[in-house]
Amino acid sequence: MAGCRAVEELIARDAGRYRVTIFGAEPHVHYNRIMLSPVLAGEKTFDQIVINDRAWYDDNAVDLILSDPVEAIDRGAKTVTARSGRVVGYDRLLIATGSDPFIIPVPGHTLDGVISFRDMADVSRMIAAADAGGEAVVIGGGLLGLEAAHGLSLRGMKVTVIHLMPTLMERQLDEAAGWLLKSALEARGQTILTGADTAEIVGETCVEGVRLKDGRLIPASLVVMAVGIRPCVWLAKEAGLAVGRGIHVDDHMVTSDPAILAVGECVEHDGQVYGLVAPLWDMCRALADGLTERHTGYRGSVTSTKLKVSGIDVFSAGDFSGGQGAQDIVLRDASRGVYKRVIVRDDRIVGAVLYGDTGDGGWYFDLMKRGEDISTVRDMLIFGQAFALGGGQTDPKAAVAALSDNAEICGCNGVSKGKVVACIGGGAVTLDAVRGSCKASASCGSCTNVVENLLALTLGDDYGGERAVKTMCKCTSFGHDDVRREIVAQGMRSIPEVMQKLHWSTPDGCSSCRPALNYYLLCALPGEYVDDQQSRFVNERMHANIQKDGTYSVVPRMWGGVTNPRELRAIADVVEKYDAPLVKVTGGQRLDIFGIKKQDLPAVWADLNAAGMVSGHAYGKSLRTVKTCVGSDWCRFGTQDSTGLGIQTERMTWGSWMPHKFKIAVSGCPRNCAEATIKDFGVICVDSGYELHVGGNGGIHVRVTDLLCKVETEAEAMHYCAAFIQLYREEARYLERTAPWIERVGLERIKARIVEDAEGRDALAARFLHSQTFCQDDPWAARAKGAESEQHQPLSLMETA
């Protein structure tokens, strides 16, 4: 595209100055390459994307030689030789060889049916394959891959996109926008596999499928590789020109040989190579100016991109990764599927990512290129040009006051301003009351601010402005309970999804909300939700307790506090072998080994695993220990087998994730040697059965348990325990222990759910046991075998000189 464009620019400036010969490897006249995507999608024909037909070349006396690539340049003789043997001399030579698609050299990449997406020939092959029907795999979830996938699926193929990175178009989009894009494409029937690495392409002579490194096999009769491009520089290199990643050019597009110029994707200017068309236009202008003695010069380009998939609007420009001193302005509108993020540094826009509503992309891009100071419009920047410049009301209250009574406030529930005002007038003087009576802001919550402004406007000084619900953190206007409820009600499945649907105001949350969301999803979707390591606190990520000096302590599980010589020996050996400075008996009757270095953890776990010991989860928001006394087997007072019941209970409950740490104890008689009345769940054995206690806490605010009820058998005690834990797991807020939870909701409510409602109790217990089927894996065993070994290894070692 660049070569012909340069010729056009040249002719426009000074038509008679040069006699021009153009060599093209392709059989076609100059066409608009970027429109190949609409051609594939069936939205345009090839003729519609041709830029100049043959007559134009004749009219301008341009010699056009097609299907004949140049194979050698003789700089001494100033000639080029093409494949056909044709030799043509030059005074000035322009190289515009573009890029070659990159083909990953996996086994099978030469099979028939493996193609790239670069020129019209590729498009014709794709169309032919689609006409034959069948399944296609597109490797690469970048701009090009997604456009290929879109075209093929419009042509009726079943398409799977395989993308190595965790988010689509990661070079243009952040995680949030990438997630929206993925959901939209999936809704259109494509299968999108992210984090998927291709192992091989299988088939005898033709493609039959693609195998991933994790073993999955995806059947396919067509494989499109769209994993990147490489500047096509071999011709220039062989001619001895200076070449880096691309052919080196100066500001006038002149290469290291003054008689040879180069433009387009094949060049490297000031360390940059470009893979988009906009820079070409700039380059071609500078080149034509140079060839006609104007010398304006090219100064590099800032680029923006759009995805050309009809109905999906994506825009990205500049540096969306921000960097030093950058701030994010984020707007999420879940009901419209809109996400906008503008990145600002020193009051200037440095990048933008827009999804769903890209109308203002051009405006942001322009402000960015011009380096405009945006401090005066900053507050309204994110709402777009019309709002920020069109005299949009600066005072949000005035803006709300100006709305007509019919204006819709809450889209989810169709509530108008008039209705909200009437409902406030009718006595609903808090946000919750408004939500309760006219439903405004009770669903997705995006209109909460407007409703609050209406409250302030209607009630004047009488409106305290305090939201009854404390928000989860500064990233959201929702409280914990709202978030939990909405996750379940809307069937949300991932952290980015929650953040989008509930209008998070930050790109990826903070250290308060991420661990909470991770837990809520884990609890709501047992066996399905994939845990997010980066949203866990260090102890859970490392499966050990971090200590003040940065080393870790390790507590192996001792079921019910019972141990044996083999376990003791293994612990003693570990202490010696790894030079642990301290071993201590914990308050929960386990042995704690202190001072283990991060990199030694996997070896320590392997040694403990070998003696049959598993992680004690002493680090987790999870079941920690079940403390027991000796009970009827040995103690002269014991009425029941408290040790045995403790062991059984620990076997049932270990590994479960909870809102906070959770401790259990079982005492053999009311003397209560296991201190069961300051545990989250405590059992006191009595002659006639088992007293079940809940909500105890031995922490800063010591709290003695409440008696939940009395049951007669061990089996019942375990069943109630499971039900109680599940109720706590499903309803407490993250980082709320059972004691404050029970004080907040009241013991009566908990009794009603666990004691009085037999059916509800059974359901809770069943849900707990179901989720346990996915949880009771020893996290140490996998790590000891080498899983995620990078967590324990430094990235690299460095010696200082």
Partner 1 sequence: MTADRWIDVGRIEDIPPRGARTVVVEGGDEIAVFRAGDDAVFALINRCPHKGGPLSQGIVHGHSVACPLHNWNIALATGLAQGPDSGCTPTILVRVEDGRILIAPPQPVPA
Ligand X SMILES: Cc1cc2nc3c(=O)[nH]c(=O)nc-3n(C[C@H](O)[C@H](O)[C@H](O)COP(=O)(O)OP(=O)(O)OC[C@H]3O[C@@H](n4cnc5c(N)ncnc54)[C@H](O)[C@@H]3O)c2cc1C
Q: Is 34 helix (H, G, I), strand (E, B) or coil?
A: helix
What's the rounded Cα separation, in Å, for the pair 666 and 664? 7
**How remote is the C-alpha of 747 from its chain's centroid?**
40
Please check whether residue 384 is in contact with residue 338, taking contact to mean a CB–CB distance below 8 angstroms. Answer: no
Partner whose binding site includes residue 174, from partner 1, ligand X, ligand SF4, none (CB under 5 to 8 Å by kind): partner 1
**How remote is the C-alpha of 229 from its chain's centroid?**
25
What's the rounded Cα separation, in Å, for the pair 451 and 447? 6
Contacting positions for ligand X (CB under 6 A): 1-3, 23-26, 33-34, 36-37, 69-70, 96-98, 117-118, 144, 232, 235, 264-266, 275-278, 280, 308
Report the interhelical angle of 642-653 vs 758-775 (nearest 10°): 70
Residue 69 or residue 337: which is nearer to ligand X going by CB? 69
Partner whose binding site includes residue 637, from ligand SF4, partner 1, ligand X, none (CB under 5 to 8 Å by kind): ligand SF4
Question: Token digits for 570?
Answer: 């293994």
Partner whose binding site includes residue 24, from partner 1, ligand X, ligand SF4, none (CB under 5 to 8 Å by kind): ligand X
Site for ligand SF4 in 115-174 (CB under 6 A): none
Q: Is residue 631 a contact residue for ligand SF4 (CB under 6 A)?
A: yes
Partner whose binding site includes residue 166, from partner 1, ligand X, ligand SF4, none (CB under 5 to 8 Å by kind): partner 1
Partner whose binding site includes residue 98, from ligand SF4, ligand X, partner 1, none (CB under 5 to 8 Å by kind): ligand X
Nearest distance from C-beta of residue 232 to ligand X, angstroms: 5
Residue 250 or residue 508: which is nearer to ligand X going by CB? 250
Residue among 63, 270, 637, 746 that touches ligand SF4 (CB under 6 A): 637
Residue 308 or residue 617: which is nearer to ligand X going by CB? 308
What's the rounded Cα separation, in Å, for the pair 157 and 154? 7
Partner whose binding site includes residue 175, from ligand X, ligand SF4, partner 1, none (CB under 5 to 8 Å by kind): partner 1
Please check whether residue 253 is in contact with residue 235, taking contact to mean a CB–CB distance below 8 angstroms. Answer: no
Q: Is residue 197 a contact residue for partner 1 (CB under 8 A)?
A: no
Instruction: Return the closest-CA partner of residue 102 out of 199, 201, 229, 222.
Output: 229
Please check whether residue 602 is in contact with residue 792, taking contact to mean a CB–CB distance below 8 angstroms. Answer: yes
Residue 534 or residue 776: which is nearer to partner 1 going by CB? 534
Nearest distance from C-beta of residue 307 to ligand X, angstroms: 8
Question: Token digits for 165?
Answer: 């990175």
Partner whose binding site includes residue 790, from partner 1, ligand SF4, ligand X, none (CB under 5 to 8 Å by kind): partner 1
Nearest distance from C-beta of residue 666 to ligand SF4, angstroms: 9
Give the burial class of 385: count Cβ atoms within 10 A of its Cβ; 0-12 exposed, 13-18 middle, 19 or more buried. Answer: middle
Site for ligand SF4 in 664-693 (CB under 6 A): 667-669, 671-673
Partner whose binding site includes residue 635, from partner 1, ligand X, ligand SF4, none (CB under 5 to 8 Å by kind): ligand SF4
Please check whether residue 356 is in contact with residue 183, taking contact to mean a CB–CB distance below 8 angstroms. Answer: no
What's the rounded Cα separation, in Å, for the pair 676 and 433? 42
What's the rounded Cα separation, in Å, for the pair 515 and 703? 26
CA distances from 728 to 36, 661, 688 (A): 56, 11, 28
Residue among 8, 9, 147, 174 that touches partner 1 (CB under 8 A): 174
Please check whether residue 125 is in contact with residue 136, taking contact to mean a CB–CB distance below 8 angstroms. Answer: no
Q: Is residue 326 a contact residue for partner 1 (CB under 8 A)?
A: yes
What's the rounded Cα separation, in Å, for the pair 207 and 220? 7
Please check whether residue 237 is in contact with residue 255, taking contact to mean a CB–CB distance below 8 angstroms. Answer: no
What's the rounded Cα separation, in Å, for the pair 137 and 152? 10
Residue 321 or residue 564: which is nearer to partner 1 going by CB? 321
Nearest distance from C-beta of residue 684 to ligand SF4, angstroms: 8
Pairing of β 93-95 and β 260-262:
parallel
How many Å is the Cα radius of gyration of the chain? Answer: 34
Residue among 126, 400, 475, 629 that touches ligand SF4 (CB under 6 A): 629
Q: Which stretch binds partner 1 (CB under 8 A): 20-28, 319-327, 582-590, 611-619?
A: 319-327
What's the rounded Cα separation, in Å, for the pair 216 and 194? 13
Nearest distance from C-beta of residue 96 to ligand X, angstroms: 5
* Position of minimal CB gap to ligand SF4: 668
Site for partner 1 in 508-537 (CB under 8 A): 508-511, 514-515, 533-537
Pairing of β 304-306 and β 314-318:
antiparallel
Site for ligand SF4 in 177-206 (CB under 6 A): none
Chain residues binding ligand SF4 by CB under 6 A are 629-631, 635, 637-638, 642, 667-669, 671-673
Chain residues binding partner 1 by CB under 8 A are 166, 170, 174-175, 320-326, 328, 506-511, 514-515, 533-539, 541-542, 546, 548, 550, 790, 793-801
